C-alpha cells in the first residue's frame, strides 16, 4: 500500500492543517491545491497533481509532487489511482444503480454512493484521499453539500477531502471550515477565460500581469494562518458574504454542528477569541452549546441566599477584573447572592463560570442597544434559570427589562447608567434589604466556583467532596486528606489534576473514559494504534480517564474532538498523569 505521511498540526472545528510528508519537517500543507495539466504553483501551495484517462468509467490519478512518504522513497509520491465508477446525478438519490467506485487509498464518492454503497462501512477502508465527485451538483441543492461533507469527514476522519470544481480564493476559508482539505483551479480558469479573476473578495475584471495563482496563494496562506490562530470561523463568516449560496451553506453547517456532539472544544488557548462581529455569528455552535447548558443543566451554588442579582457585562474579561464590576462589588458589599451577568451573545453568564470558554474569551461590538433576538434569548434563559432555582427575588441591575409572573423583580437601574452614583446606591440598598445569609469567606467562594466549573467541564463535582483550598491567588491548590489532587490553572480556566486525583475521579465516575488495548505499554500519546474504545462526546481540551484491562491507569488530555478519533493518524490525546 502506498503511504501518505500526514500529521495534524492545527485544528479548528472540522478544519485541519495537515503537514504532509515528514511529520517534523513537512514538505507541504493543507489546505492546498490539486493541479491539472498546464497549471503551475509552488509545492508549498499545491501538494498534488491529478489527471483523468477520459475512459468510461473514468480513472482518476492523484500524485504527490514531493516525497510525502519519505520512509518509502525519496521520489515524489505517492501515486494514488482509482476508477470513479458510473455516477447518477444527486437528483436520482433514491435509485440504487450504476457502477460503484473502486475502493482503496484513493476513494471517489458521490451522493448516491453515500446513500447506497454498504461497502463504505467496512472498517478496513481507510483511504488517504477522498474525492466528492459530484460536489458541484450538490452545491446547488440546498443542504446537500454540507451534509455530504460531514458524513465523509466523520466516516473518514484521517483522509484528505477534495471537492472538485467548487473551490476558489473567494470561498477557500468557508469550505476549509466545513472540512475540505484540497481545492483546484477550475473556477479560476473559467473566470480567466471571461477576462475575470477570482479574488478573496469575489470575482472582478483582470488587471494587467495578473494571474489566478496569485490570489490562490494569498487565500490559502490566510486560511492556514487562521486555522493556526483559531480564527477560521471569523474568516469564513467574512468570506461567506461573497455569495448568498455561501451564506446558506454556512448557516446550515452551523445548525448541523450545534446538534452534533464531539465537535466543539472545551478548553482553548488563553489567546483564543470568539469574535462575534456579525449577525450570523450569534448562532455559532459554541454559543448554542453554552445556551443549552445554562438553560438545561446549570445549577447555582448551594447555600447562597435565594436572591438573583442580574448585572451587565463588561468589555474586559473576566468581568470581575473590570472597573465596572469592581464598582458593583463595592456597592453590594455582599457576596452571597446568585450573581449572573446578562450579555450578548451568550445570554447569561453565572459569576462562577465567567472565566471558562467561551464566556471569558468573546468579543462583540457594544452599542448599548438590544435587538429582538437578543432580548428573546436572554428572556428564555432567565425563565429557564428561574424554573431550575427557587429565587425569592430578582434584583435587576442589568439594564434589560425583565418581569416574572411569580417572582418579584426590583429594577435598581431605573433607566440610569449602571455605574451612576444613584444606581449604585440603589443596588446597595436593595441588596442590603433582601439578603439574609452571611457573607461567604474566600474558601467558600473558591469552592463554589470550582464546583461549578467541575460540573461544566466534568461529569459531576463529586470528586471535590471534602476538599480544602490552600495556596495563593490565582493558582489555588485543592487538597483531600492533606494530599494535593488539583490546582486551578487560570490560563486554562480549568484544573490541572495531580496523580492523587486519579482514584477519586475513577471512583466518582467524574470524567469520560477511553480504553487502551490490552498488552500495550502506554508511554505518552494516545493514538489509533493503541486505542480500543473512546467516549463519542469527547471535546478538545477535556481531561480523560485512561482505562486498560478494566483498570484506571492514568489521565490524558484530549488534543482532538471525538469525531476525529475514528481514524485520524497522529496524537489524539496526550498523557497527563500515569499511575
Tell me the pLDDT tens digit for each residue of 177-220. Answer: 999 999 999 999 999 888 898 998 888 888 877 766 789 999 99
| 533: CATH | 3.10.400.20
424 shares its domain with 500: no
The grid coordinates of residue 288 equal 448554542
Looking at the domain assignment, is residue 37 inside a domain? Answer: yes
Residue from 535, 536, 523 nearest 571 by CA:
523
Quote the CA–CA distance of 174 and 170 in Å, as a whole number. 9
Q: Say if residue 230 is exposed, middle or buried (CB neighbours under 10 Å; 0-12, 13-18, 19+).
A: buried
164 shares its domain with 77: yes
Task: Give 243-261 pLDDT, tens digit per residue.
Answer: 999 999 999 999 998 888 8
- The pLDDT value given to residue 567: 87
162 shares its domain with 62: yes
315 shares its domain with 234: no
Residue from 158, 161, 198 nearest 178 by CA:
161
pTM: 0.90
| 365: CATH | 3.40.50.10630
State which of 199-213, 356-370, 548-562 shows the largest mean pLDDT: 548-562
Indicate the number of domains in the chain: 3
- The pLDDT value given to residue 249: 95
- The pLDDT value given to residue 503: 97
Name the residue range of residue 236's domain: 6-259
* Integer CA distances (angstroms), 359 to 11, 212, 364, 427, in order: 21, 41, 12, 24
- The pLDDT value given to residue 50: 95
Task: Give 26-54 pLDDT, tens digit per residue.
Answer: 999 999 999 999 899 999 999 999 999 87
User: Of the ranges 151-160, 363-372, 433-442, which one carries the lowest mean pLDDT score?
Assistant: 363-372
- The pLDDT value given to residue 98: 59
pLDDT-above-70 percentage for the chain? 96
The SS3 call for residue 493 is coil
Looking at the domain assignment, is residue 400 inside a domain? Answer: yes
- The pLDDT value given to residue 262: 84
Quick one: average pLDDT of 346-359?
Answer: 96
Q: In what order do the strands lie in the sheet with 182-183?
A: 79-83, 59-64, 48-52, 32-35, 182-183, 160-162, 129-132, 106-109
Quick one: average pLDDT of 473-480?
Answer: 95
Looking at the domain assignment, is residue 281 inside a domain? Answer: no
pLDDT at 1 over 70: no
Torsion sign over Cα 521, 526, 529, 533: positive
Residue from 456, 459, 458, 508 nearest 480 by CA:
508
User: Of the ranges 87-91, 223-227, 543-547, which one carries the lowest mean pLDDT score?
Assistant: 87-91
The grid coordinates of residue 132 equal 466528492
378 shares its domain with 511: no
255 shares its domain with 317: no
Looking at the domain assignment, is residue 280 inside a domain? Answer: no
Task: Give 55-84 pLDDT, tens digit per residue.
Answer: 777 899 999 999 998 888 889 989 999 888
Question: Where a domain ends, among 207, 231, 259?
Answer: 259
User: Of the ranges 136-145, 207-216, 461-470, 524-533, which one carries the lowest mean pLDDT score?
Assistant: 207-216
pLDDT at 536 over 50: yes
63 shares its domain with 210: yes
228 shares its domain with 105: yes
Looking at the domain assignment, is residue 184 inside a domain? Answer: yes
pLDDT at 373 over 80: yes
> Residue 456 belongs to what H/E stretch?
helix 442-457
564 shares its domain with 493: yes
pLDDT at 342 over 80: yes
> pLDDT grade, residue 102 (50/70/90)?
confident
Q: Average pLDDT of the chain?
A: 92
Question: Where a domain ends, among 237, 259, 281?
Answer: 259
Quote the CA–CA distance of 84 and 107 in Å, as a whole number. 8
- The pLDDT value given to residue 207: 80
Looking at the domain assignment, is residue 273 inside a domain? Answer: no
196 shares its domain with 344: no
Looking at the domain assignment, is residue 341 inside a domain? Answer: yes
Question: Where a domain ends, among 232, 259, 286?
Answer: 259
CB 197 within 8 A of CB 188: yes
The SS3 call for residue 193 is helix
pLDDT-above-90 percentage for the chain? 73
pLDDT at 115 over 90: no
> pLDDT grade, residue 100 (50/70/90)?
low
Query: Quick one: the chain helix, strand, coil %, rounded to 5?
Result: 30, 25, 45
Quick one: average pLDDT of 210-239?
Answer: 90
419 shares its domain with 463: no
Looking at the domain assignment, is residue 275 inside a domain? Answer: no
421 shares its domain with 480: no
Amino acid at each position: 500500500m502506498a503511504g501518505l505521511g500526514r500529521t495534524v498540526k492545527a485544528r479548528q472545528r472540522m478544519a485541519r492543517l495537515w503537514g504532509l510528508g515528514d511529520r517534523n519537517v513537512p514538505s507541504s500543507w493543507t489546505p492546498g491545491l490539486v493541479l491539472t495539466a498546464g497549471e503551475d504553483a509552488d509545492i508549498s501551495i499545491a501538494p498534488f497533481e491529478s489527471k483523468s484517462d477520459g475512459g468510461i468509467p473514468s480513472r482518476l490519478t492523484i500524485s504527490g509532487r514531493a516525497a510525502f512518504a519519505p520512509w518509502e522513497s525519496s521520489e515524489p509520491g505517492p501515486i494514488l489511482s482509482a476508477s470513479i465508477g458510473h455516477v447518477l446525478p444527486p437528483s436520482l438519490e433514491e435509485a440504487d444503480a450504476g457502477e460503484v467506485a473502486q475502493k482503496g487509498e484513493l476513494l471517489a464518492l458521490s451522493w448516491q454512493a453515500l446513500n447506497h454503497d454498504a461497502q463504505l462501512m467496512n472498517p478496513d477502508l481507510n483511504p488517504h484521499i477522498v474525492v466528492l465527485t459530484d460536489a458541484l451538483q450538490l452545491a446547488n441543492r440546498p443542504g446537500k453539500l454540507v451534509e455530504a461533507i460531514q458524513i465523509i469527514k466523520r466516516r473518514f476522519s484521517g483522509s484528505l477531502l477534495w471537492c472538485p470544481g467548487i473551490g476558489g480564493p473567494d470561498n477557500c476559508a468557508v469550505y476549509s471550515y466545513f472540512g475540505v482539505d484540497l481545492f483546484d483551479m477550475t473556477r479560476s480558469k473559467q473566470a480567466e477565460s471571461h477576462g475575470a479573476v477570482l479574488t478573496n473578495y469575489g470575482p472582478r475584471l483582470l488587471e494587467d500581469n495578473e494571474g489566478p495563482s496569485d490570489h490562490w496563494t494569498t487565500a490559502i496562506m490566510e486560511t492556514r494562518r487562521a486555522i493556526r490562530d483559531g480564527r477560521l470561523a471569523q474568516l469564513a463568516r467574512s468570506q461567506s458574504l461573497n455569495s448568498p449560496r455561501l451564506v446558506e451553506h454556512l448557516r446550515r453547517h452551523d445548525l448541523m454542528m450545534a446538534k452534533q456532539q464531539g465537535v466543539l472544544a472545551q478548553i482553548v488557548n488563553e489567546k483564543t477569541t470568539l469574535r462575534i462581529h456579525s449577525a450570523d455569528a450569534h448562532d455559532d455552535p459554541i454559543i448554542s452549546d453554552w445556551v443549552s447548558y445554562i438553560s438545561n443543566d446549570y445549577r447555582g451554588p448551594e447555600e447562597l441566599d435565594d436572591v438573583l442579582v442580574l448585572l451587565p457585562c463588561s468589555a474586559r474579561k473576566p468581568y470581575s477584573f473590570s472597573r465596572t464590576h469592581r464598582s458593583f462589588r463595592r456597592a453590594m458589599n455582599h457576596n452571597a447572592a446568585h450573581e449572573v451577568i446578562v450579555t450578548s451573545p451568550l445570554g447569561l453568564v453565572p459569576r462562577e463560570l465567567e472565566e471558562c470558554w467561551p464566556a471569558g474569551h468573546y468579543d462583540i461590538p457594544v452599542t448599548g442597544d438590544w435587538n429582538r433576538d437578543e432580548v428573546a434569548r436572554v428572556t428564555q434563559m432567565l425563565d429557564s434559570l428561574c424554573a431550575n432555582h427557587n429565587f425569592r427575588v430578582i434584583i435587576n441591575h442589568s439594564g434589560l427589562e425583565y418581569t416574572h409572573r411569580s417572582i418579584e423583580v426590583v429594577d435598581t437601574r431605573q433607566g440610569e447608567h449602571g455605574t451612576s452614583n444613584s444606581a449604585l446606591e440603589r443596588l446597595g440598598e436593595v441588596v442590603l434589604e433582601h439578603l439574609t445569609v452571611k457573607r461567604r469567606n474566600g474558601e467558600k467562594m473558591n469552592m463554589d466556583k470550582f464546583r461549578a466549573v467541575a460540573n461544566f467541564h466534568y461529569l459531576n463535582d463529586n470528586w471535590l467532596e471534602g476538599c480544602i483550598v490552600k495556596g495563593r491567588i490565582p493558582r489555588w491548590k485543592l487538597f483531600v486528606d492533606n494530599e494535593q489532587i488539583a490546582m486551578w490553572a487560570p490560563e486554562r480556566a480549568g484544573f490541572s489534576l495531580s496523580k492523587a486525583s486519579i482514584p477519586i475521579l475513577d471512583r466518582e465516575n467524574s470524567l469520560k473514559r477511553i480504553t487502551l488495548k490490552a498488552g500495550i505499554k502506554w508511554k505518552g500519546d494516545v493514538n489509533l494504534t493503541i486505542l480500543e474504545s473512546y467516549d463519542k462526546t469527547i471535546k478538545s481540551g477535556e481531561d480523560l480517564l485512561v482505562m486498560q484491562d478494566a483498570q484506571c491507569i492514568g489521565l490524558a488530555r484530549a488534543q482532538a474532538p471525538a469525531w476525529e478519533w475514528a481514524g485520524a493518524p497522529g496524537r489524539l490525546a496526550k498523557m497527563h498523569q500515569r499511575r
